[in-house]
Amino acid sequence: MAKSAAPSSRTQVKRRPNKASYDKDLAYSIIDQALIAHIAITDETGQPYSLPVGIARDGDRLLLHGSAASRLFRRLIEGHPCSATISLLDGLVMARSSFESSIHYRSVVVLGQAYEVTGEEKMRAFDAIVKHLMPGRELEVRKSTEVEAKQTAVAALPIAEFSIKVSNLDVGDLPEDLDSPLWAGIIPIEHRFGTPINAGDLKPGIPVPEYIAKWPNGRT
């Protein structure tokens, strides 16, 4: 894997550095395929928590969307140190021993301090997040009211201090296990969208939009 220098000593991968990369384009590619990140931050007592948060990438920053009433999200937009982990699970590595069995994955960890997005920029961030999670929907849905906007917080985390790990190697069994009659190999994991389910209160005669109906066959 092509590697550039780690952005900082904190993001230097020490275990299995052969799986590491610090290529920003690769980081962007992984982030752009993900729908959520897990944000780790501590509360006022020092207790760490991890929050699953809907995301979108806006250039060189990660947009994070949450409730303005959340004390942990408030700490996030106050600029307390945090980390964001974005992971894509790609497969199961079925080895001949439990020790050598593992997973294929791509992950990005971003360290830093987030800041609050406000005003018109916040409204544009809403659209960017909806567009990333539900492309095309941002053109159709009712925009947030002023009250709704106040109830929602948007934070931006610079994608500056980060590391990437990619695990995509073949089964690596020990030589003494190779004569085992047990099957070994890779089980790919594919992420796709299912068939849309109508809301229980949907009025009769309203069809699934054509662009959404195509999602089970893949979307760009």
Q: Rounded to whole angstroms, how far apart are CA atoms 16 and 39? A: 23
For domain 9-170, the CATH superfamily is Electron Transport, Fmn-binding Protein; Chain A (2.30.110.10)
Which residues of the chain are under the pLDDT cut of 50? Answer: 2
194 near 216, Cβ under 8 Å? yes
97 near 177, Cβ under 8 Å? yes
Instruction: Please give the model's pTM, rounded to 2 decimal places.
Output: 0.90
Q: Rounded to whole angstroms, how far apart are CA atoms 130 and 37? A: 15
Q: For position 8, what pLDDT does the model report? A: 74
2 near 10, Cβ under 8 Å? no
39 near 113, Cβ under 8 Å? no
Q: For position 9, what pLDDT does the model report? A: 79
Domain boundaries, given as residue ranges, for the chain: 9-170
Q: For position 2, what pLDDT does the model report? A: 47
Q: For position 15, what pLDDT does the model report? A: 75
